[in-house]
Structure 1
């Protein structure tokens, strides 16, 4: 194909003197030997559609600059974010999310966000194309009145259709951002940090936050930890999503910094962004989290008890701690951005369920590096004496089984991380003067990859894991991670008192529960970690691995539950 396009051009290359020319996708001539790019390009005319031959001409440097911007249709940054949200919503639908999640909830949230930030669907839009941007600073890169209508009704932009901004869009075609070399029309507004914060402009982490809010609205069982894990496993598009951008959205220059992501945001970051978006959109009260909802701690704790291979009887004590702490009430569990308590401490349903399990284990076994091992010895003596019964729960046996399974899971995750392709398949050109060099490097890399592929043969693609809410598999079988402890009993850690079953452990230890101001103090886990019992620290690490959060975040959630639990317990004793 290149031979036909370069027919009649036999000028030697200025760099290597070879006569071996090729034509790139953009129509530029380059040397196949040294990959040198010259100013000769292939030009198409309207009459070429009716012709069977291609005409090759030479363009001057001035004409190259004139046609340099003709790389696609005029597009805006929010169109790129809408494309990303469409793909993320489709991925969530393929994972089993209800059908009304995308059309009835997510797109209404998107429309509401655009209206509240005056970017579209309003008669007085902001003009992002005329905002002055500090293009030399790398640190800078990082309406119709809406009534309280139902989120289930009203027109919304179609999932597969383009965002029809028309006259309501805040952009100008007079070259207001001509000083910014980019593919979009309004990149300058996203390069101004002050303007970006004031108008709450969209970012890549906010796309996940918006999906999380929509999942909360429909009360799906996918938690925030699940959402981030599916992103890590590439079941939900996020990393290098610009690789699948349509041809109409030509990404280059400074707007490449907006859509290029090479890491996954943290749990806390997405949680805070979701709370900010809810306040910006002024969302009404979310549907209540009832006992039948999968996000309720009574049901969610069952899932993590199964995941952590703990006895089923422990769920009874989790529900007791939950009721004693007042965490079973709908008013406490329902997401509300206007609530002062949730504003200071956003609710994390998966963190809360795991914290209830840890508090329940402290209530039964104390977990002070001494008492739990005494209970474990009693359970082992009983199990050896009576081999036919389901047996008592031995913390020692459980710890050894979990330790082996945890090591295997971490190795699997390391192998999965190493097998992933973390570099983008498309070359992103950030600066105009580096365009030729970047395209040349990409062409050299592709040439070397094709050469090695021909020599070594096609390499098998790494097996892609199937999406699952569980990490471990317990029971008998070759593919199991260890024996199951679900049917074991907790009789050895309970006693009868006044015809009621109470814990044999009569004491409960806890760190200092005094709450610090977040504006003054930060996380104190690093300071107190050395003084905490090792079994408690290991348990924090186990659930932190399951949720992909830091142990300090898990410890802080345990303190939140303990503050409520101890306060209510003292009040009942009085």
Structure 2
């Protein structure tokens, strides 16, 4: 069979001397013993497949690649990022985001970025990407891409696969170390602040989601990326075939980790200021990004009682965190502040838990014993006075014993998924054309070893792709639930009626130092404080930090900000 495929080629291999040839998918001959690739290729003998009677009706307008590779064309780095943004937008729309997100918001943001950086949509585009940093004076005089211009919405019904980048001619400088024309300009620069990057694609999506007021927060976006529901890792493998990818292109588009929450948030703020976005639409009370609704979602995910939500709303009112002026993002300010809506909602829950249970490793366990005693009295009928709904009391000890093992299993599962993450793409990345043969040979060796190992160990492991979900845990009596639900438990034992007014049983509140630190001098103090903080408070931070995919220090900082506003409004020093 091999002789029929190789047309009876019987020459000995120049490296190992064996006659054991095979043909790759590309038609090249290689030795199956040493994987040496030779210049001989398989020719097509089936003449019936050739269109003898076809006539040439038009000439292809696309430009062939400068090195003469068949089917390739010239492309810019910004085209690659535009293709990735298009794929990410389509993935979000498939997940349920409104269709206007892609064509009317994200595409407009991208056009403004291309215009402000002088790469397109301007009368005087830059001639090379070296001038991207000196565009302030040039961009101000040009016609800007605005949101009220009807032509912006009718110009493109959907995002294109290629960009109309001006200023580059076919006889311009060519790069021999990359598939794109301008990849080499992305390296060796002292300042690359305005250049595009892979984390900045997620910043584009985050800003567009905030503009349309979708319920997908930044933590949700990063979780969808890590689960593979949004193209990010090895997104270059989805490029069209004519956009040849090799060399320095890998240093721009290839990623080996998911960007952190802080990095994407910082990129979003810088990007909004760069493209000079107007004030974002207000966050109304019926918007799912409002802290009242977002905190209800996290209460359900953490298996906390529904009655706790009323107390969280009171904290929101006391801190004045429900006002539009506080919630709305305004990039036109001198120092724009983009709120972390998910961190704030979790911080409000932590502050409310401290108000109820104090969380000092003493009071919360006393209140837990009190809840157990109240529940036992109600069960045995020893006390006639019952709560309004007659339900059982919420015990912090019971809640901790249910949530703690579930949290540990989720952490272990996440570590296993991270260890099994395939960061390398199936398509080999060629650093240069002269190393193409070596790279392809190594890839064939790896594929043969993998197939041999799978044959010895059994069937290939099936990768289970989890369906996207807003909630991380499942509480209830259903099959596969993480534990029983506590959302209907009562909190009446935490309230005491004094002079016809209900007060909290916990009359004290502890907090760390609330002095504001200078951002340029002080850093993160959580590592210094963590050994001295109560263990229950640290565990609660860990629970919500895991749910949001952030560090404990970030959530602690958000808690401190809520406490500053709360105690300032209450008049305490």
Same fold (TM over 0.5): yes
1:34 equivalenced with 2:28 (yes/no): no
Name the CA distance, whole Å, in 2 between partners of 1:298 and 1:363. Answer: 17
Task: Identify if the C-alpha distance between structure 1 residues 281 and 327 changes in structure 2 by more than 3 Å, giving closer, same or farther.
Answer: same
Matched with 1:176 is 173
Q: Match of 2:496, SS?
A: strand
Deviations 1:3-31 (Å, cap 9, x if unpaired)?
Answer: 67743643311111123334445554322
Deviates more, 1:294-303 or 1:462-471: 462-471
Any unmatched runs of 5+ in structure 1?
Answer: 53-64, 133-142
Q: 1:69 to 1:190 in 2, by over 3 A?
A: farther
Map 1:430-441 onto structure 2 (within 5 A).
430-441=431-442
Whether contact under 8 Å (1:495, 1:503) holds in the other structure is yes
| TM-score normalized with structure 2 length | 0.88
Query: How far apart are 1:2 and its partner, in Å?
Result: 8.0
Q: Is the 8 A contact 1:131 1:192 kept in 2?
A: no
Aligned residue among 348, 353, 363 for 2:345 = 353
Query: Residues 30 and 36 of structure 2 are in contact (CA less than 8 Å); yes or no, is this contact kept in structure 1?
Result: yes
**Structure 1 position 149, deviation (Å):** 3.2
1-structure distance, mates of 2:410, 2:476: 16
| Structure 1 match to 2:189 | 193
- Counterparts of 2:26 and 2:8 in 1: how far apart (Å)? 20
Once the two structures are TM-superposed, the CA of residue 478 in structure 1 deviates from its matched residue by 3.4
1:252 aligns with 2:251: no
- In the other structure, the counterpart of 1:478 is 479
- SS of 1:322's equivalent in the other structure is helix
**Counterpart mapping for 1:108-507 below 5 A:** 108-128=108-128, 144-146=142-144, 148-150=146-148, 153-157=152-156, 159=158, 161-165=160-164, 168-178=165-175, 180-194=176-190, 196-197=192-193, 200-339=194-333, 342-343=336-337, 346-387=338-379, 389-453=390-454, 458-459=459-460, 461-507=462-508
Residues 340-394 of structure 1 show CA distances to partners (whole Å, capped at 9, x for unaligned) of: 5643xx3100000000000011111111111111111100111111128411111
Indicate the SS of the match to 1:193. Answer: coil
Alpha-carbon distance in 2 for matches of 1:272, 1:477: 41
Say if 1:336 and 1:67 are closer, same or farther in 2 by CA, change over 3 A.
Answer: closer
Distance 1:191 1:104 in 2: 33
What value does the CA root-mean-square deviation take over the aligned residues? 2.8
Secondary structure in structure 2 of the residue aligned to 1:150: coil
Task: Indicate the SS of the match to 2:529.
Answer: helix
CA contact (8 A) 2:82 2:163 kept: no
Aligned equivalents of 1:5 and 1:129: distance in 2?
A: 48
Separation (CA, whole Å) in 1 of partners of 2:28 and 2:66: 15
Alignment partners' CA distance in 1, 2:211 and 2:406: 35
CA, structure 1 residues 128+161, in 2 after alignment: closer, same or farther (shift >3 Å)? same
Q: State how far apart, in whole Å, the 2-side matches of 1:186 and 1:48 are.
A: 43
- Give the Cα–Cα distance (whole angstroms) in 1 for the partners of residues 436 and 216 of structure 2: 42
CA gap of 1:2–1:246, structure 2 versus 1, over 3 A, is farther
Residues 20-79 of structure 1: CA distance to partner in whole angstroms, max 9, x if unpaired? Answer: 3344455543222211123445689xx998489xxxxxxxxxxxx995655611111111
Match of 2:96 in 1: 96
Instruction: Single out whichever of 18-27 and 182-191 deviates more from structure 2.
Output: 18-27
Counterpart residue number, 1:137:
none
Deviates more, 1:187-196 or 1:23-32: 23-32
After TM superposition, give the deviation of residue 131 of structure 1 in Å. Answer: 7.9
8 Å Cα contact 1:111-1:156 kept in structure 2: no
Rate the CA distance shift 1:28–1:290 in 2: closer, same or farther, 3 A. Answer: same
Check 1:95–1:41 CA distance in 2 against 1; reply closer, same or farther (3 A cut): same
Alpha-carbon offset, residue 402 of structure 1: 0.9
Secondary structure of the structure 2 residue equivalent to 1:194 = coil
Whether the 8 Å contact between 1:473 and 1:482 is mirrored in structure 2 is yes
**For this pair of structures, how many residues does the alignment match?**
542
Q: Which residue of 2 aligns with 1:528?
A: 529
Distance 2:42 2:107 in 1: 42
Moved more, 26-35 or 438-447: 26-35
Residue 495 of structure 1: SS of its match in structure 2?
strand
> What are the residue-to-residue correspondences of 1:53-72 with 2, within 5 Å?
67=67, 72=72
CA distance in 2, matches of 1:258, 1:377: 58
Shift of the 43–158 alpha-carbon distance from structure 1 to 2, 3 Å rule, reads farther
How has the CA–CA distance of structure 1 residues 4 and 276 changed in structure 2, closer, same or farther, with 3 Å as cutoff? farther
Query: What SS class does the counterpart of residue 192 from structure 2 fall into?
Result: helix
Could you tell me how far 1:114 is from its partner in structure 2? 0.8
Structure-2 separation of matches of 1:157 and 1:23 = 45
Structure 2 residues not aligned, in runs of 5+:
53-64, 133-138, 381-389
Q: Distance in 1 between matches of 2:158 and 2:467?
A: 26
For residues 279 and 273 of structure 1, the distance between their equivalents in structure 2, rounded to whole angstroms, comes to 10
The 8 Å contact of residues 129 and 176 in structure 1, kept in 2 or not, is answered as no
Assess, with a 3 A threshold, how the Cα gap between structure 1 residues 151 and 42 changes in structure 2: closer, same or farther. Answer: farther
SS class of match (1:154): helix
What is the distance in 2 between the residues matched to 1:482 and 1:331? 40
Give, in whole Å, the separation in 2 of the partners of 1:71 and 1:444: 28
Q: Corresponding residue for 2:386?
A: none
